[in-house]
Amino acid sequence: MLLGSCLDKHAPPAAIRIRWAHDPETLAPLALQNQSAMDASNLMYLSLLQVNSKPLSIEPALAEQLPEVGPRGDSLTTFRYTIRPNAAWDDGRPVTAADVACTLKLMSCPGIPNEISRNNYSRIRQIELNPANSRQFTLVCQGQSPELLLISGDFFILPEAVLDPQHRLRSYSLPALQRWPATRPPDSALAAVARQYQAADLANHPEHAPGCGPYRLARWEKDRYLSFRSKPNWWGKATTGLPLALQARAPQLDYLIIPNASAAALALRRGDLDVFPQVPAADFNRFSTNPSADVRLYASDSYDIALAGFNTKRPALADALTRQALSRLFDTAGLLRGTQQGRGQRTAGLVPPFDRTNYNDSLRPVPYHPAAARALLLQAGWQPPTAGQPGWRRASSRGEQKLQLAVRYRSSDELFATAALQFRAAATSLGIAVELRPTESALFGKALADGDFDIFMRTLHGNPFAVNFAPLLHSGTSSETNSTRFGNPACDQFIDAVATANDSPQRVRQLRQLQALLQQQAPLVPFFFLANRVAARRDCQGLYVSSLKPGFVAPTIERTAAAASR
């Protein structure tokens, strides 16, 4: 009977079932900590602007159109937005500028878990409401760089009517809240706001508060699944020209939490699952060598780059020549073939090669060349190992230096486990002592911030609209993000110039020069940009795969049968 019950074939359910490896755990819109939480919030809330997957562009979502941008003084930019007239919360109230102001103030309100949003949007300095039009407002942002456009409109708007029904926050200005010292306790009104926010419990029960997005959280069993239902009378249904992510065609989206990739692959083959995003390279390869009539494969570029970096504060790694030498010991071509089945693109810099305008195509990826590495080491003043003295040495003003390398990477990361073994083998053949230290995920961040490594290997996530190397490589940023502790006056100049340049051709020129300089300085060794792989059931149509996270658009997917009957 048991067997019978699971063997009988059910009709395919209406829901589109998508795999997630982890539960988002918290959906607090001001503290989105992982991609799953971001995807879920994208279904329930809207922001002013939305990054569209096809065509790749920034498009208005809650805003009627792209904002009017203008400079103010020589260090500020203003963005004038108007909210769509029919945009409304689930309870029927219109979305107004007051909701935007409330959201921005909540981001800086003390006593609320909002540090992530506060840091990301601290450059929005002021919001000016238009007394004549409740849907219109102006954001004043610090700086004049082009990337400000996305920052000014890429946060989820929350309902003031639920989070601050007494309008307490209206009596505080945004700058006053932003200047609130971390040590100063909130006053009674702000404490009441914080309590109100915590009581709304958006982190665990976002369905209790109204949203303005196309979906509503219907059920959430932690570590098991999240189920989203599309709203039957959502205001956007009547609106045309919305970005893909807002064209809610799937009536129900179920995100199933399946930690193990093999189990997810089996579930997809069996039809227990419809979409398997971010398929590991090996499983994707198995799908393609062993095709199934029910599964279709999609692949695209992504902005995720695998790279290694040096601790430039270590005396042995402080000079560019040594770093150049060591970067020739990474067999990136072999790693791409061996671990990624050749999918992905080798790169010379942090700009992806498929970004034709910005990528410096006169550069070549660093080759795997141990002999050249040896020559460069000699050139950098290192003495090769001899019979009596193992290991490379070099004399410096502060005593003798030894070339001994500790390599850190996340122990859960298979790609870097292989890369580390490959690097160790290549270095050992030259007589360089290498110690591998696979590190538990949480401790990895600490080790990088504390500088407890010589070489690290990790993946960085990028996006097509913000090319900003300042957090990563500027001498002025904290070691929390600038793990290499790299800082070079010429590079700083280029990074600042690229970040602030408005003029496109000049910006491109500077970006290309920066790439060349970075390859010469070699604080980082870019391996390759990883591919985005998605596998889905064949009866799912309208699946748009893109290089944006999460790699595909969920709401546009629908079953062939359902699409035909519509």
Partner 1 sequence: MESLKSLFGRMRRGQLLALGWLAGVVLLALLAPVLPLPYPAGIPDLAHVAEAPSRASRHWLGTDPQGGDVLSGLLFGARTALLLTLPAALLANLLGGVVGGAAGFWGNRLLVSAPAMGLAPLALAWVLGMPPLAVAAGAVTVGALWAWRCMRRLPASIAAPLDSLVLATVSSLDTVPRLVLVLALVARGGLSVAGLGLVLGLTAWSGPARLVRARMLAVKALPFVEAAQASGLPLARVWWHHALPHALKPLQTALPLSLAGLLALESTLSFLGIGLPPDVASWGQQLAAARQQPQAWWAVVFPALALFATIISINVLTTRKSSLSN
Partner 2 sequence: MVRLLLRHLGQTLLATWLLASVVFLLTRADGEQAVRLALAPAADLSMPAVSQAEELASRAAARHRLGLDRPLFYVGCSAAGSWEWGGWHNQYHQWLRALLHGNLGTSFRSGELVSHRLAQALAFTLPLTGLAAVLAILAALVLATGMAAFPRWQGPVRTVLVGLHSVPLFIVALALLLLFANPELLNWFPAYGAAPEVGTHALKQFFDALPQLVLPVAALVLAAVPELTLQLASALAHELRQPYIVTARAKGLRASAVVRHHALRNALLPTLAQLAELLPAMAAGAVVVETIFALPGMGRLLAEAAATRDYPLLVGGVLLVGLARLLSLLLADLSYSWADPRIRWKA
Query: Which residues contact partner 1 (rule: CB under 8 A)?
Result: 262, 282, 286, 331, 334-335, 337-339, 410-412, 414, 417-418, 420-422, 424-425, 435-440, 443
- Residue 420: contacted member of partner 2, partner 1, none (CB under 5 to 8 Å, by partner type): partner 1
Which of 441, 493, 506, 520 lies at the binding interface for partner 2 (CB under 8 A)? 441
Please name the helix (run of DSSP H) or strand (run of DSSP E) that holds residue 79, with its range, or none: strand 76-82
Binding mask 64-103 for partner 2 (x = CB under 8 A): ----------------------------------------
Q: Sign of dihedral through CA atoms 17, 19, 23, 29? A: negative
Nearer to partner 1, 122 or 260 (CB): 260
Q: Which residues between 274 and 303 bind partner 2 (CB under 8 A)?
A: 292, 303
Q: Which alpha helices (DSSP H) does 155-232 contain, by range?
A: 160-163, 174-178, 188-200
Q: How far apart are CA 433 and CA 455, in angstroms?
A: 13
* Pairing status of strand 558-559 against strand 540-541: antiparallel
- Contact present, 368 and 328 (Cβ < 8 Å): yes
* Segment lying near partner 2 (by CB under 8 A), choices 52-60, 67-75, 365-373, 445-453: 445-453
> From the list 77, 103, 138, 227, which residue makes contact with partner 2 (rule: CB under 8 A)?
227
- Which of 88, 282 has the CB closer to partner 2? 282
Given partner 1, partner 2, none, residue 282, with its beta carbon under 5 to 8 Å by kind, binds partner 1
- Applying CB under 8 A, the span of 63-71, 201-209, 353-361, 363-371 interacting with partner 2 comes to 201-209
Compute the distance between CA of residue 310 and CA of residue 331 in angstroms, rounded to an integer: 17
- Using the minimum distance from each CB to partner 2, give the nearer residue, 203 or 432: 203
Tokens at 331, concatenated: 């067999």
28 interface partner picked from partner 2, partner 1, none, CB below 5 to 8 A per type: partner 2
For position 22 contacting partner 2 by CB under 8 A, the verdict is yes
DSSP H helices in 414-457 = 414-430, 441-450
Reference 313, options 509, 475, 538; nearest CA is: 475
CA distance to 315, 388, 406, 417, per residue, from 399 (Å): 11, 19, 21, 34
Region of 462 please: left (phi>0), alpha (psi -120 to 50) or beta: beta
Q: Is the Cβ–Cβ distance between 542 and 366 less than 8 Å?
A: no
Closer CB to partner 1, residue 115 or residue 440?
Answer: 440
Cβ proximity to partner 1, 294 vs 414, nearer residue = 414
Instruction: Identify which of residues 213 and 464 has a Cβ nearer to partner 2 in the complex.
Output: 464
Contact indicator for 191, 164 with CB cutoff of 8 Å = no
Single out the residue of 65, 260, 386, 493 in contact with partner 2 (rule: CB under 8 A): 260
Q: Which of 465, 243, 206 is nearest to 352 (CA)?
A: 465
Which residues are paired to 136 by β-bridges? 82
Q: Candidates 1-9, 157-165, 231-239, 403-411 — which segment interacts with partner 2 by CB under 8 A?
A: 1-9
The one segment of 64-72, 398-406, 478-486, 555-563 that binds partner 2 by CB under 8 A: 478-486
Q: Which stretch binds partner 2 (CB under 8 A): 80-88, 249-257, 391-399, 535-543?
A: 249-257
Q: Which residues pair with 124 in a beta bridge?
A: 141
Q: Is 429 in the site for partner 2 (CB under 8 A)?
A: no
Cα separation values, 106 from 5, 99, 273, 362, Å:
51, 10, 38, 47
Could you say which of 91, 221, 414, 435 contacts partner 2 (CB under 8 A)?
221
Distance CA 275, CA 18 (A): 5
Categorise residue 541: left if φ over 0, alpha if ψ from -120 to 50, beta otherwise.
beta
CA separation for the pair 45, 162 (Å, rounded): 14
- Specify the residue, 255 or 416, whose C-beta has the smaller distance to partner 1: 416
Question: Quick check: 400 binds partner 2 (CB under 8 A)?
Answer: no
- For 83, the token pair is 């909210």
What is the closest distance, in whole angstroms, from the C-beta atom of residue 427 to partner 1 in the complex?
11
Q: How far is the CB of 386 from partner 2 (least distance, A)?
A: 40
Candidate ranges 6-14, 231-239, 361-369, 551-559; the one touching partner 2 (CB under 8 A):
6-14
Which residue number, 379 or 441, has a Cβ lying nearer to partner 1?
441
Minimum distance of partner 1 from residue 289's CB (angstroms): 11
Question: Measured from the CB of residue 442, what is the shortest distance to partner 1 in angstroms?
Answer: 9
Q: Which does 215 bind (CB under 5 to 8 A by kind): partner 2, partner 1, none?
A: none
267 binds partner 2 (CB under 8 A): yes
Per CB under 8 A, the list member of 111, 381, 451, 487 interacting with partner 2 is 111
With respect to partner 2, which residue has the nearer C-beta, 333 or 460? Answer: 460
Is the CB of 437 or the CB of 512 nearer to partner 1? 437
Q: Which of 16, 28, 149, 366 binds partner 2 (CB under 8 A)?
A: 28
305 part of the interface to partner 2, by CB under 8 A: yes
The residues that bridge with 393 in the sheet, in sequence order, are 383, 402
- Of 455-474, which residues contact partner 2 (CB under 8 A)? 458, 460-463, 465-472, 474
451 contacts: CB under 8 Å, gap ≥ 6: 311, 313, 479, 485
**58 has which bridge partners?**
51
Kindly state the tokens that stand for 63.
């805003």
Distance (Å, whole) CA 396 – CA 399: 5
> Pick from partner 2, partner 1, none: which does 422 bind, CB < 5 to 8 A by kind?
partner 1
DSSP H or E run through 107: helix 97-108
Helices assigned H by DSSP within 255-353: 261-270, 281-289, 320-327, 332-340
Work out the number of other CB atoms within 10 angstroms of the CB of residue 421.
13
